[in-house]
Structure 1
Amino acid sequence: MITDWHFYALAIPAVILLGLAKGGFAGMGALSLPLLTFAVDPVRAAAITLPLLIAQDVVGVWAFRRTVEWRLLGWMVPGAVLGIWLGYAFAASVSPAMVMAAVGAISMLFGAYRLWAARHATPRSAARWPEWVGSLFGVASGFTSQIAHAGQPPFQLWVLPRNLPRELLVGTTAVFFALINWIKVPAYFALGQFTAANLLTSAALLPLALVSTVAGVWLVRRVPAERFFTAIYMLMIAVGAGLLWEALP
């Protein structure tokens, strides 16, 4: 089990952000893994947070289980399986510094995309594409989710143009990422990351993960969070740039 207080100084806010994201504040959790990467290598950080994500998924899926667009998931999930395999192959074949650089780049792109999306209407043309194109977005979402637990942008680029009601969007998002988090489990076993130390660290953070998820479910129906989102995404770009700065030399 990790006992370094520097790790927990980053892990506690990271887990709270994961909980808020799983509770319905979609996108906030993408900052969590980049934060932890300043304390441990990115593959280990992802392995520690994966059990927390799976536990948090139970709360999110239960809360929104009656509002799911299954047809969209039917097209996206098969592509996500391929994307997860590609992400595993990438992480298994390159150095930790390259994985860190990938996490940094994904974080910057994620933050920039979300800031852009907040100021521009979602393109309606995507809603007119053939349904099978959703599998390609699934591949991109699976890959970025495997590398950095940041599969939201490709998912949203495909789903948001459909203008789903808020509850249906949140429920579909919860179920999609619950499924792909379970699909990622064999990949992290293959990478040798489910060690006793990592699992004990996950267990120590689990109570906070569950409490923050319940809080997110409660808050998402009551709190407008636009300004908070803007700060999160700007910080995500800065953190991603910091990871790139550390990794590229």
Structure 2
Amino acid sequence: MDWLQLGLLCGAGFVAWALNTLSAGGGGLLLIPAVTFLTGSAAVAPVITLTELMANPVRILAFRRDVDWTIVRWYLPGAIIGAAAGAWLFANARAEWLQILIGLYLIGAVWEFRAGARERSYEARRWWFLPAGLTVSMLSALMGTVGPVLNSLYLNYGSSKETLVATKSVSSFATDVIKIAVFTGLGVFSGHALAFGLATGIGAAVSTFAAKPMLERMSGRQFRTVVVALMAMSGALMIWKQHELVIALYHQLANGVPTGIGVAGAELTPRRP
């Protein structure tokens, strides 16, 4: 670990979270290649969680008047349970197939919202944020990040661009505290992971001041277009991360070799971070 490495991580955090603000998500996935290249894959989930923990309070402060607290009250109970469960599973399971399925779902947003031209594809109910919080927080802790997978629910609920960004930041901050606590208890947070997370977190936090004026100038249509584009890009990145797995499965199926895929579609073999 050296100052150049930390500087590159800080810059990567700034760029990724500026785009995260403008698209209400996807920053974590955009940051994964940089974090993996500079630190190794084992540090991805703890580093991105710490980055969010540092960046979200700044974003909450900047957009404090736009938070929809009714959504937060529905989202948090399930999200807290899901974050704790997912962080524990992080040390005990693998989720390659889940990433592929989520990637396909994110790419599907292009058709769901007609590339941003369509305001809603269905009418979401407020209580839906409870099971959504449980599921998404668990997957986020397990895989490091699931990208802007909740954006579809927010858009179909009718949230404005500022409300979407602000409310997601509050919800994410609360669950990140739980994930950090569990990661620390499991020994996943090494000294290097802490330093890497602080570097990316500083860059991510500063980026809010550059991105906020740009978000305010965007129209609703422009915002939806960017959101959908980043959802599709995030989905493509998630699938590309598992391209070797897809190729291996293809060869196994072609040769009639059993795949060993579990009931839930994830290969649940013990691992160490």
Q: Is TM more than 0.5 here?
A: yes
Distance, in Å, in 1 between the alignment partners of 2:61 and 2:207 is 15
Q: Secondary structure at the match of 1:126?
A: coil
Contact 2:10 2:201 in 1 (8 A): no
Letter in 2 for 1:44: A
- Alignment partner of 1:148 is 2:147: no
Letter in 2 for 1:148: G
Larger Rg: 2
Q: Select between 156-165 and 179-188 the one with higher mean Cα deviation.
A: 156-165
The aligned counterpart of 2:207 is 212
1:23-34 aligned within 5 A:
23-34=21-32
Q: Secondary structure at the match of 2:66?
A: coil
- Specify whether residues 134 and 206 from structure 1 end up closer, same or farther in structure 2 by C-alpha distance, changes over 3 A only: closer
Contact 1:76 1:134 in 2 (8 A): yes
Contact 1:83 1:143 in 2 (8 A): yes
The aligned counterpart of 2:57 is 58
Contact 1:34 1:107 in 2 (8 A): no
Letter in 2 for 1:202: G
Contact 1:122 1:161 in 2 (8 A): yes
Distance, in Å, in 2 between the alignment partners of 1:121 and 1:229 is 12
Unaligned runs of 5+ in 1: none
Instruction: State the TM-score, normalizing by the size of structure 1.
Output: 0.78
Letter in 2 for 1:152: P
Q: Select between 165-174 and 177-186 the one with higher mean Cα deviation.
A: 165-174
Instruction: State the TM-score, normalizing by the size of structure 2.
Output: 0.72
Contact 2:109 2:232 in 1 (8 A): no
Distance, in Å, in 2 between the alignment partners of 1:240 and 1:8 is 26
1:1-249 aligned within 5 A:
1=1, 12-13=11-12, 15-21=14-20, 23-36=21-34, 38-39=36-37, 42-94=41-93, 98-99=94-95, 101=96, 104-105=99-100, 108-109=103-104, 111-119=106-114, 120-127=118-125, 131-146=126-141, 147-150=143-146, 152-153=148-149, 155-223=150-218, 224=222, 232-247=230-245, 249=248
CA RMSD across the alignment:
3.2
Task: Give the number of aligned pairs.
Answer: 239
Contact 2:18 2:208 in 1 (8 A): yes
- Specify whether residues 149 and 56 from structure 1 end up closer, same or farther in structure 2 by C-alpha distance, changes over 3 A only: same
How far apart are 1:170 and its partner, in Å?
A: 2.7
Q: Secondary structure at the match of 1:27?
A: coil
- Specify whether residues 64 and 121 from structure 1 end up closer, same or farther in structure 2 by C-alpha distance, changes over 3 A only: closer
Distance, in Å, in 2 between the alignment partners of 1:64 and 1:162 is 19
Contact 1:77 1:138 in 2 (8 A): yes
- Specify whether residues 41 and 110 from structure 1 end up closer, same or farther in structure 2 by C-alpha distance, changes over 3 A only: farther
Letter in 2 for 1:150: V
Distance, in Å, in 1 between the alignment partners of 2:232 and 2:161 is 24
- Specify whether residues 113 and 86 from structure 1 end up closer, same or farther in structure 2 by C-alpha distance, changes over 3 A only: farther
Distance, in Å, in 2 between the alignment partners of 1:55 and 1:102 is 30
- Specify whether residues 109 and 4 from structure 1 end up closer, same or farther in structure 2 by C-alpha distance, changes over 3 A only: farther
Q: Secondary structure at the match of 1:20?
A: helix
Letter in 1 for 2:145: H
Deviations 1:106-145 (A, max 9, x none): 6623531432343155233433xxx544311111221232
Contact 1:34 1:240 in 2 (8 A): no
Distance, in Å, in 1 between the alignment partners of 2:178 and 2:113 is 31
How far apart are 1:225 and its partner, in Å?
A: 5.9
Contact 2:59 2:208 in 1 (8 A): yes
- Specify whether residues 175 and 34 from structure 1 end up closer, same or farther in structure 2 by C-alpha distance, changes over 3 A only: same
